[in-house]
Structure 1
């Protein structure tokens, strides 16, 4: 998936998510595993907030710290039912300050 353009999301979130839903439905065969990728400053509280967005979802995760330890990349492979669920999780994580969604 392309980097989520938060600038376009901020200008018109409804249009952004409608476009994302259309792309997801055109390229995925839900229900299926969906790979989320995030980068965040190495902050346990924020990392925990990301995990909470997946509370009701079966997932596996991989984390990796940057060379200098300042950032953590998080890959979460989650079983999602549909494009709406993918978007809902992006919306929840998008409210966490400092998270880069890939």
Structure 2
């Protein structure tokens, strides 16, 4: 979680929680990776997907009300463990 310290500090600058947060990931469209990302995202969030022309990658966007900075960093850190994932 050390590499997410800057993100955590930035998020903690926000004094109003819960807040609407947008997760955005690009993931290879293979091996169930899209489903792995979906499983990590908040169930109450609104999801949208966009495929690249050649269908090799999927952009996943989730907008959700998050209760605190730590929960955002936890999801981002878990998602980063998925091979080939790019976090935006």
TM-based fold match above 0.5: yes
Q: Give the TM bin, normalised by the shorter chain.
A: 0.7 to 0.9
Could you say what the CA RMSD is over the residues aligned between the two structures, in angstroms?
1.7
Deviations 1:6-49 (CA, angstroms, capped at 9, x unpaired): xxxxxxx41x3222111112246321221010111112611111
SS in 1 for 2:11: helix
Gaps of 5+ in 2: none
Matches within 5 A, 1:27-66: 27=14, 29-43=16-30, 45-54=32-41, 57-66=43-52
Q: Normalized per residue, which structure has more helix?
A: 1
When the two structures are superposed, what TM-score results if normalisation uses the length of structure 2?
0.87
Gaps of 5+ in 1: 1-12
Number of paired residues?
88
The partner residue of 1:25 within 12, 16, 23 is 12
Runs (4+) of structure 1 moved beyond 6 Å? none
